[in-house]
Structures are given as C-alpha cells and as structure tokens.
C-alpha cells in the first residue's frame, strides 16, 4: 500500500528566508508525487507534481520540489518565503486503482507553514 | 477561479435530516471524487466515479450515498448522520489517467448537530 509521511506538523520561517517542507513516501512501482496547498477555509490547490524526468520540479508561486529516489523524499522548497505563503501544505502520492489507468491520491497529514514578517 | 464548484459551502443539519452536497466540474474531466477532511485524520477518499460508474467505495457508511448522473455532476446525499461526520467534504475531478492532476473544489463545510 502507498503511504506518505510529512514528519513536521509545523514549519516556521522568517520572510525572505528559504523554506523547506519535508515529505517522504513509500510506494510500489514508479512514484507519482504531488504537492497541494490549502489556505484557510479553502479547498486544495495544486502546486506541482513529479511524474518522470528531472528531479527538480518547478511549480506555481515560485515553489519547487526535489525528487530523491534513494531517500524516497519529495521535499517542497522555495528560495525566499513570503508571508502570503502561510498555509497548510499536503504531499500526496498517486497510484492506479486496481490495475486500471484511474489514478487516486494518498495524502500525508499536512504541514502548517507559518512565515513571520 | 476553480473549475470545480461545490454547493453549499456551509451546511448545518440535524441528525435526522436529509440533505445533499452538489459538485459540478467545468474541466471536461471523466473522473470525479469525494474526499473527507476532518481535524484528526488525513484526507480520506470516500468515492470515485469514472465515466459515471462508481469504481471505489472505501467502506464508507451507508448514510453517505453518492450519485453521478453525468460526467460533470456529482452529488453526496446525506441522511441520519452523526456528529462525528462533521467535516470538510471536498469534491475533485481529473482526466482519470494515472499521472494526471486531480483538481479540487472549495469544499463544503458540514456540521451535524
């Protein structure tokens, strides 16, 4: 079975500093990995995904993520944090449902990012 | 902004009521999903429909009854719910092929009193 772990419930960083939100995964087969962000009282917004190819994936709002197969990690990063980046971040893995082509997501528990001015 | 629209955004219902959550996607996708987000658990997949046929029910109690009349609309019918069912219910859609992005709506906040 697929599983995703986000080891930190909370990450605090000062505005302008780099940020990292950690994610590790356990999947069978090739990993399909995603990051979503959730602002207060909102749904989930897609940030970026890794399917294949370059290990560094660039996404929305200046975020990027680094896929590391040997460490089974997919950490989310941003070179310079903004106060507006404060939100709940979810890492997810996708697998095929019962051998079909239909994909479904397994989520981590989420990491609350707070960026201080 | 979102291509997946959910109504109502907020719902308060008694344990003996019957209500429905509605979802509509404008993205031309062929798969739709219901997820449940509660405070103490990770996001849980409840139901998946592909080409209007239900392909997964993750042992969800029968007090939740989904309906997918066409590829653009998805309903979640609610009856005799329990207070522990209070949560954010998220609808999502995708072009249901592995690797394709799943897009979420804004969610419906449900409170059972």
Q: Which of residues 39-98 of B touch A (CB under 8 A)?
A: 42-43, 45, 48, 50, 55-56, 90, 92, 94, 96-98
Least confidently predicted of A47-51, A76-80, B1-5, B13-17: B1-5
Would you state the pLDDT for residue B3?
Answer: 94
Do the Cβ atoms of A44 and B45 come within 8 Å?
Answer: no
C-beta neighbour count of A48 within 10 angstroms: 19
Do the Cβ atoms of A110 and B42 come within 8 Å?
Answer: yes
Q: How far apart (Å, rounded) are the C-alpha atoms in residues A69 and B43? A: 25
**pLDDT over 90 percentage in chain B:** 73
> How sure is the predictor about B112, in pLDDT bands with cuts at 50, 70 and 90?
very high
Q: What is the pLDDT of residues B24-75, one digit of tens each?
A: 999 999 999 999 999 878 899 999 988 777 777 778 999 999 999 999 999 9
Question: How long, in residues, is chain B?
Answer: 113
What are the start-end ranges of the H helices in A8-61? none
> How sure is the predictor about A99, in pLDDT bands with cuts at 50, 70 and 90?
low
Nearest to B90 by CA among B3, B6, B24: B6
A-B C-beta contacts closer than 8 Å: 68
On whether any CB of chain B is under 8 Å from the CB of A88, the answer is no
Would you state the pLDDT for residue A39?
Answer: 94
> How sure is the predictor about A112, in pLDDT bands with cuts at 50, 70 and 90?
very high
- 3-class SS at A68? strand
Would you state the pLDDT for residue B2?
Answer: 67
């Amino acid at each position: 079975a697929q599983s995703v772990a986000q080891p930190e419930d909370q990450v605090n960083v000062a505005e302008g500093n780099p940020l990292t939100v950690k994610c590790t995964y356990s999947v069978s087969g090739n990993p399909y990995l995603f990051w979503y962000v959730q602002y207060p009282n909102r749904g989930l917004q897609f940030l970026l995904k890794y399917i294949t190819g370059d290990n560094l994936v660039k996404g929305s709002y200046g975020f990027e993520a680094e896929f590391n197969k040997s460490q089974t990690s997919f950490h989310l990063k941003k070179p310079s944090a903004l106060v507006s980046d404060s939100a709940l971040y979810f890492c997810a893995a996708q697998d095929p449902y019962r051998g079909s082509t239909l994909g479904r997501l397994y989520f981590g528990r989420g990491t609350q990012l707070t960026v201080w001015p | 902004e979102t291509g997946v629209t959910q109504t109502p955004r907020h719902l308060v219902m008694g344990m003996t009521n019957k209500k429905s959550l509605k979802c509509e996607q404008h993205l031309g996708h062929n798969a739709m999903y219901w997820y449940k987000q509660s405070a103490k658990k990770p996001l849980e997949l409840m139901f998946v429909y592909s080409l209007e046929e239900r392909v997964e029910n993750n042992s969800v109690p029968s007090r939740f009854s989904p309906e997918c009349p066409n590829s653009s609309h998805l309903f979640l019918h609610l009856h005799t719910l329990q207070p522990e069912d209070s949560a954010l219910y998220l609808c999502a859609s995708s072009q249901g092929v592995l690797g394709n992005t799943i897009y979420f709506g804004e969610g419906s906040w449900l409170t059972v009193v």
